[in-house]
Chain A
Amino acid sequence: MKIGVFVCHCGSNIAGTVDVVRVAEAAKAMPEVAFASDTMYACSEPGQDGIIQAIKDKGLDGVVVASCTPRMHGPTFMRTVARAGLNPYMFEMANIREHVSWIGKDKEANTRKATDLVKMAVAKLAQNRPLFPSSFSINKRVMVIGGGVAGIQAALDCAEGGLEVLLVEKTTTIGGKMAKLDKTFPTVDCSSCILGPKMVDVAQHPNITLYANSEVEEVFGYVGNYQVEIRKKATYVDWKTCTGCGACMEKCPSKKSPDAFNEHVGRTTAINIPFPQAIPKKASIDRDSCTKFKTGKCGVCAKICPAKSIDYEQQDEMVTEDVGAIICATGYDLMDWTVYGEYGAGRYPDVITSLQYERLLSASGPTGGHIKRPSDGKEPKTVVFIQCVGSRDKSVGRPYCTGFCCMYTAKQAILTKDHIPDSESYVFYMDIRAPGKMYDEFTRRAMEEYGTQYVRGRVSMVYPKGDKMLVRGADTLAGTQVEVEADLVVLAVGAEGAKGSPQLAEKLRISYDSYGFFMEGHPKLKPVETNTAGVYLAGCSQGPKDIPSSVAQGSAAAAKVLGLFAKDQLQSDPQVSKVDIKRCVGCMKCAMTCPFGAIKELEHRGEIKAQVIETVCQGCGICTSTCRQGAIQLQNFTDNQILAEVNALLQSELEEA
Chain B
Amino acid sequence: MDKELRIVGFLCNWCSYGGADTAGVGRFTQPTDLRIIRMPCSGRIDPLFVLKTLIGGADGVLVSGCHPRDCHYAEGNYYARRRLEVLKRFLPIIGIDQGRFEYTWVSASEGQRWQHVVTTFTNQIHALGPIQRIGKDAQARACAFGRTLEVDVSA
**Cβ-defined contact, B43 with A621, below 8 A:** yes
B102 at the interface (CB under 8 A from A): no
Interface stretch, picked from A195-203, A483-491, A641-649, is A641-649
Instruction: Kindly provide the distance from the CB of B21 to the nearest chain A CB, expressed in whole angstroms.
Output: 4
A624 to B41, CA, bound (A): 11
Instruction: Kindly provide the distance from the CB of B89 to the nearest chain A CB, expressed in whole angstroms.
Output: 18
**Cβ-defined contact, B20 with A625, below 8 A:** no
Contact of A104 among B6, B32, B56 (CB under 8 A): B32
Contact of B25 among A98, A512, A639 (CB under 8 A): A98
Contact of A109 among B8, B32, B43, B76 (CB under 8 A): B32
**Cβ-defined contact, A595 with B74, below 8 A:** yes
B96 at the interface (CB under 8 A from A): no
A624 to B76, CA, bound (A): 12
Contact of B75 among A502, A595, A642 (CB under 8 A): A595
A40 to B76, CA, bound (A): 39
- Contacting residues of chain A (98-145) with chain B, CB-CB under 8 angstroms: 98-100, 102-106, 109-110, 112-113, 116-117, 120
**Cβ-defined contact, A637 with B39, below 8 A:** yes
A352 to B54, CA, bound (A): 60
The interface on chain B, measured as residues whose beta carbon lies within 8 A of the other chain's beta carbons, has a size of: 61
**Cβ-defined contact, B30 with A620, below 8 A:** no
Q: With A71-B17, A593-B79, A637-B44 in contact, do A650 and B58 touch (Cβ < 8 Å)? A: yes
Instruction: Provide the residues of chain A in CB contact with B27, threshold 8 Å.
Output: 102-103
A650 to B55, CA, bound (A): 10
A69 at the interface (CB under 8 A from B): yes
| Smallest CB gap from B39: residue in A | A637
**Cβ-defined contact, B8 with A649, below 8 A:** yes
Instruction: Provide the residues of chain B in CB contact with A71, threshold 8 Å.
Output: 13, 17-18, 21
Instruction: Provide the residues of chain B in CB contact with A98, threshold 8 Å.
Output: 20-21, 23-25
Instruction: Provide the residues of chain A in CB contact with B66, threshold 8 Å.
Output: 511
A478 to B49, CA, bound (A): 64
Instruction: Provide the residues of chain A in CB contact with B24, threshold 8 Å.
Output: 69, 97-99, 102-103
B70 at the interface (CB under 8 A from A): yes
A230 at the interface (CB under 8 A from B): no
Contact with A along B124-155 (1 / 0, CB 8 A): 00000000010010010001001001101110
Instruction: Kindly provide the distance from the CB of B65 to the nearest chain A CB, expressed in whole angstroms.
Output: 11
Majority DSSP secondary structure for residues of A touching B: helix
A246 at the interface (CB under 8 A from B): no
A95 to B8, CA, bound (A): 14
| Smallest CB gap from B13: residue in A | A71
Instruction: Kindly provide the distance from the CB of A211 to the nearest chain B CB, expressed in whole angstroms.
Output: 24
**Cβ-defined contact, A639 with B46, below 8 A:** yes
A3 to B17, CA, bound (A): 25
| Smallest CB gap from B45: residue in A | A625
Instruction: Kindly provide the distance from the CB of A58 to the nearest chain B CB, expressed in whole angstroms.
Output: 27
Instruction: Provide the residues of chain A in CB contact with B15, threshold 8 Å.
Output: 511
Instruction: Provide the residues of chain A in CB contact with B36, threshold 8 Å.
Output: 95, 99
A657 to B132, CA, bound (A): 12
**Cβ-defined contact, A634 with B52, below 8 A:** no
| Smallest CB gap from A619: residue in B | B40
Q: With A621-B40, A646-B53 in contact, do A630 and B72 touch (Cβ < 8 Å)? A: no
A205 to B49, CA, bound (A): 56
A168 to B74, CA, bound (A): 23
A109 to B139, CA, bound (A): 25
- Contacting residues of chain B (105-136) with chain A, CB-CB under 8 angstroms: 107-109, 115, 133, 136
**Cβ-defined contact, B4 with A116, below 8 A:** no
- Contacting residues of chain A (574-630) with chain B, CB-CB under 8 angstroms: 575, 593, 595-596, 618-622, 624-626, 630
A218 at the interface (CB under 8 A from B): no
Contact with A along B33-63 (1 / 0, CB 8 A): 0011111110111110100110011100000
Which A-B residue pairs are the 8 nearest by beta carbons? Answer: A98-B24, A621-B44, A620-B73, A622-B43, A625-B46, A620-B41, A109-B32, A102-B24
Some 17 contacts from A to B, beta carbons below 8 A apart, are A69-B17, A95-B21, A103-B30, A103-B32, A104-B32, A509-B73, A511-B15, A511-B70, A513-B107, A531-B72, A575-B40, A619-B40, A622-B44, A639-B46, A647-B143, A650-B58, A654-B143
